[in-house]
Amino acid sequence: MLKGKHIILGITGSIAAYKSAVLCRLLVSAGAEVKVVMTPLAKQFITPLTMATVSQHPILVDFFNPENGEWNSHVKLGEWADLYLIAPATANTMAKMATGVADNLLLTTYLSARCPVAVAPAMDLDMYAHVATQRNIEQLRRDGVHIVEPGSGFLASGLVGKGRMAEPEHIVEAVSAILEEKKKSLEGKHFLVTAGATIEPIDPVRFISNHSSGKMGYAVAEALSERGAEVTLVSGRTSLATPKGVKRVDVLSAEDMWQECVARFPECDGAVMCAAVADYTPSVVAEQKLKKGDSDMTLELRRTKDIAATLGANKGKRVLVGFAMETEHEQQNAVGKLERKNFDFIVLNSLRTEGAGFRGDTNVVTLIDREHSQPLPLMSKHEVAEKIVDKIEEFL
Ligand code: PMT
């Protein structure tokens, strides 16, 4: 469950911070990538060197690097994460989280995070039992923050009672459960996904097509299915295996894809149009192989039907996501397609960007809706798919 997950580990100023190193090591061993954010006081309890070593990333404490003025972007960090875990979380930090105070990097990251957030409180028993702390914890629960309950036992004060941070193994289990729960967040929903290239026959031997491998669309279908959605994948020709749990319908031409999508869309809660669909098809398909002559040949093409625009016109409350593959005026063209095809948001990728677009295992995309444009860094197509599905959930 933790393999490949991005986790921010926030550490606040508590004696329980000594357990954060073990916690970080367990998360990394389970396959997660961990970036650590510390409050200035946390550095008194566990050294940045220790945490940088176990997390294999530099530690983030300040808003910017005083040596060169480089910003530590809490927004980018919040976007990067699949889960934000604050362990240990002091009474002070939880009070600030509950009221939206943002006076250090750990707290601004909390306010920017779009992912699930979990806190593992750690403090003395009276502080924990205090009505103010309990009120703040209740507020955090209402705000959707997961609370990993502290245990009872010996406390740093010498007293015995409830307030000890949960053991690292227990916190890792809780984190896995949260990610598992997130994964099933689309249970009961049905999505249509198009992927791959269409094939427009010229004669029984030749055709017009494009470079789409289907990888991006298949990754989206897989990500939706992993979160519990029923997925119908209408696929152009590819050599890819069908993702587990996904129902695949193979098509060849843009017309075939149009037929399948239009028939299936009414039963769906949304659709992701990732296929590279031919905009033109030969007006006449020759019944026999065309013979070459001495002169040049002109092929007459006619427009295909626009699948996305048809679904967009009949969208109702469904979520409709488009893709735009551009080579120039990227943003402007993508916004035009967003409007014309009535997408809720569009995923822009450009052939001018290295690591983006056709065939490779990575992509560089910008998610554009009517209010925001969110550029994402180079990621695997699977990570891009996760980000797309996160955004779909915001629209549902
Ligand atoms: O398959 P890969 O090798 O992984 O590559 C992924 C990709 C580059 C194909 C993918 O990321 C992508 O950008 N897909 C859309 C490519 C495209 O042709 O976009 P477009 O700008 O022509 O079309 C805009 C939108 O309308 C797309 O959502 C497209 O699916 C849809 N469309 C277009 C024409 C048509 N007749 N019907 C449609 O539904």
Residue 18, in any domain of the structure:
yes
How many C-beta atoms surround the C-beta of residue 134 within 10 A?
Answer: 11
17 and 127 fall within a common domain: yes
Which among 72, 210, 333, 342 is annotated as catalytic? 210
Boundaries of domain holding 138: 6-183
163 and 19 fall within a common domain: yes
Distances (CA, A) of 322 to 28, 71, 247, 311, 389: 35, 33, 20, 11, 13
User: Which atom from ligand 1 is nearest to the alpha carbon of 215?
Assistant: 4
Distances (CA, A) of 380 to 61, 218, 362, 373: 28, 13, 4, 20
pLDDT along the chain (396 residues), means of 10: 92 97 98 96 97 95 81 80 96 98 95 93 95 96 95 85 94 94 88 98 97 97 95 96 94 98 98 98 97 94 98 97 97 98 97 95 96 92 94 94
339 and 378 fall within a common domain: yes
Mutational pocket test of ligand 1: of 212, 321, 339, 382, the residue with most ligand atoms within 8 Å of the beta carbon: 212
Span from the CA of 298 to the centroid of ligand 1 (angstroms): 26
**pLDDT at site 66:** 75
Mutational pocket test of ligand 1: of 199, 277, 350, the residue with most ligand atoms within 8 Å of the beta carbon: 277
**pLDDT at site 234:** 98
196 and 170 fall within a common domain: no
Residue 83, in any domain of the structure:
yes
Mutational pocket test of ligand 1: of 199, 323, 346, the residue with most ligand atoms within 8 Å of the beta carbon: 323
Span from the CA of 290 to the centroid of ligand 1 (angstroms): 30
- Domain end, chosen from 139, 167, 183, is at 183
User: Which atom from ligand 1 is nearest to the alpha carbon of 356?
Assistant: 8
Span from the CA of 270 to the centroid of ligand 1 (angstroms): 17
Helix/strand/coil for 235 = strand
Contact, 78 vs 120, CB < 8 A?
no
37 and 154 fall within a common domain: yes
**pLDDT at site 160:** 85
Q: What is the DSSP letter of 271?
A: E
222 and 153 fall within a common domain: no
H or E element: which one contains 110?
helix 105-112
Cβ-count burial of 103 within 10 angstroms (0-12 exposed, 13-18 middle, 19+ buried)?
exposed
Residue 329 φ/ψ region, left for φ over 0, alpha for ψ in the -120 to 50 degree band, beta for the rest: left
243 and 377 fall within a common domain: yes
**pLDDT at site 71:** 79
Closest CA to 345 of 287, 279, 272, 296: 272
Residue 22 sits in a domain whose CATH number is 3.40.50.1950
- Domain end, chosen from 167, 183, 199, is at 183
Residue 111, in any domain of the structure:
yes
91 and 176 fall within a common domain: yes
Residue 1, in any domain of the structure:
no
167 and 208 fall within a common domain: no
How many angstroms separate the CA atoms of 355 and 33, rounded? 21
How many angstroms separate the CA atoms of 24 and 48, rounded? 13
Q: How many domains does the chain have?
A: 2
Residue 349, in any domain of the structure:
yes
Cβ-count burial of 373 within 10 angstroms (0-12 exposed, 13-18 middle, 19+ buried)?
middle
Active site residue 342: no
How many angstroms separate the CA atoms of 45 and 36, rounded? 14
Task: Report the residue count for the chain.
Answer: 396
User: Which atom from ligand 1 is nearest to the alpha carbon of 213?
Assistant: 3
